Amino acid sequence: LKLLSEDPANYESAPREGIRRILEEVTGVAVPRDSPVPTDRIEWIRMGTTVATNALLERAGARSALVVTKGFADLLAIGNQARPDIFDLKIARPSRLYEAVVEVDERVRIFQTTEQQPSSSSSSSSSSSSSSSS
């Protein structure tokens, strides 16, 4: 779902409007614009905005921290090593976008719109390969 970051003629808050529309679509229950969003129906939210992207590009905005999975604190510092002149000894790096790095334990969840059962051939081959290696 994509909405304008600012559209006061149609909604007060783009994130809230996006959440409201998705809840209506997923649950089939109307969520009026002037009522509170029923947060008990929300499991997770992933969102990006043009306003936030522009603030990052311009190095403007609020103080921030980078929250990453434990063990990946240096991920952005290492990057992908792409640079215009690979043999240049004077590498100019842009300033960091964050003040601190916070490492957290992470729980990864797979979201599927349909349920899929593992095939019996893939589960038997994985169990036989694990038993032969022990």
Instruction: Give the integer Cα–Cα distance in Å for 114 and 123.
Output: 20
Residue 8 C-alpha from the chain's centroid: 26
Please, is 35 exposed, middle or buried when counting C-beta atoms within 10 Å of its C-beta (0-12, 13-18, 19+)? exposed
- Considering only the C-alpha atoms of the chain, give the largest distance between any 2 of them, rounded to a whole number of Å: 66
Q: What is the mean pLDDT of residues 100-124?
A: 70
Cβ neighbors of 15 (< 8 A, separation 6 or more) are 47, 49
pLDDT at 130 over 90: no
Confidence band for 83, pLDDT divided at 50, 70 and 90:
confident
Mean pLDDT for all residues in the chain: 80
1-10, 95-104, 115-124: range with lowest mean pLDDT: 115-124
Q: What is the DSSP letter of 39?
A: G
Place of tokens 């510092």: 77
On whether the CB atoms of residues 3 and 18 are closer than 8 A, the answer is yes
pLDDT at residue number 77: 81
Confidence band for 58, pLDDT divided at 50, 70 and 90:
confident
Q: 104 φ, ψ to 5°?
A: -130, 150
